[in-house]
Structure 1
Amino acid sequence: ADFVAVMQPDDCPNRRPESTQRLRVDYFYDEAIGNFHYGEGHPMRPHRVRLTHHLVVNYGLYKHLNVFRPRPASRADLTAFHSDDYIRFLSDVTPDSMQDLNPGVMERYNMGEDCPVFDGLYEYCQTYTGGSIAGAARINQGCSDIVINWAGGLHHAKKGEASGFCYTNDIVLSILELLKTFSRVLYIDIDIHHGD
């Protein structure tokens, strides 16, 4: 992990390349992502991101990438799309505290088998979403041509509820970031289920 830079928001030493130069590829990874666990038997397994990262390292692919550890997404970042009450719920709920909640609250936010409450849930959301938003910002700044965030792509979360293993919709938040610079964004979804 010693080759991972800590991303600085305005650190953009090289602007758009000449047509003969290589494309600049940014890669966002936080080693903590592999520590989160949806629960026994759940098909979503964030540790797969760590396994993918090990392939990137062991094949030496990182030598061709600008590698960054993203800052966690802030509450303000998350509420650019999500409702305040939903983000407050995500930041407060824990496996222990959910036992004291009215069952209607869990239902309201669509928390359950597909989207369980687990230790570090809010930090998980901040981590994967922070990488995607930072990547979009780097494109906006002209610092990068391609951005990779294997932890991201959780496109089913809705404005005020979780859905389809997704708690915060980093895709929508990234598109909102890109729309600060670009008038249109083409989003191609290759998941078997279309995004929300």
Structure 2
Amino acid sequence: MVRSDVKRFIENGRTSIPYLQADWRGGFAPHLYGRVSAGIFEQIYAGLSTELLYRNPDDGWSVGGELNWLKRRDEDQLFGLEGRDSLSGEISLYREWASGVLAVVRAGRFLAGDWGGTVDLSRRFDNGVRIGGYLALSDGSDREFGGTSPDKGVYITIPLGELWPFGGPRRSVSTELTDLARDSAQRLRLNSRLYDYVAGINRQRIDSDWPQIVN
């Protein structure tokens, strides 16, 4: 199971640790970034995560790869871990336009061991708010993973504090409306993926936001 038993986590994790992770980020070559993360990533999973991202700041294209070694947490969501572990990963292609529209196509191995892909389309508005939706489909069978119908949802991310258009870490709060908890086509819910940190560093974004900077 991946998320279909989330009710047990909610019931038994009234005093819990939502996430607790350590991150290292750096640059290896021009336009090539890396990340290594360890700790508690979300309500159900903890472990290790690695990522590489290539992004040329002169255009809106990026490509990245991610690999995760994970263990399910105990239902009380403190420091205990169950014996089961899983390996997941994906290749992602990003295209962002100066208007703030971002299209992402991902393909890889989901948390339950099923294989598939995700299409994510969103828009960033002038005030920094991003609204989007996604559709994910995998080869998980009805018997193993509880169905093969697409996993879909919509989300909104609202930045907190003063916005800075040149990118970099910024605090934000996100809300997601999705299907009922399921096991197929599920990604790790990770707070620190590289694209969120470097996507603002591109010439198209600077040209679009420059009037707000100088006024």
TM-score (norm 2): 0.23
Q: Which has the higher strand share?
A: 2
TM-score (norm 1): 0.24
Q: Which has the higher helix share?
A: 1
Q: Which has the higher contact order (CA 8 A, sep 6+)?
A: 1
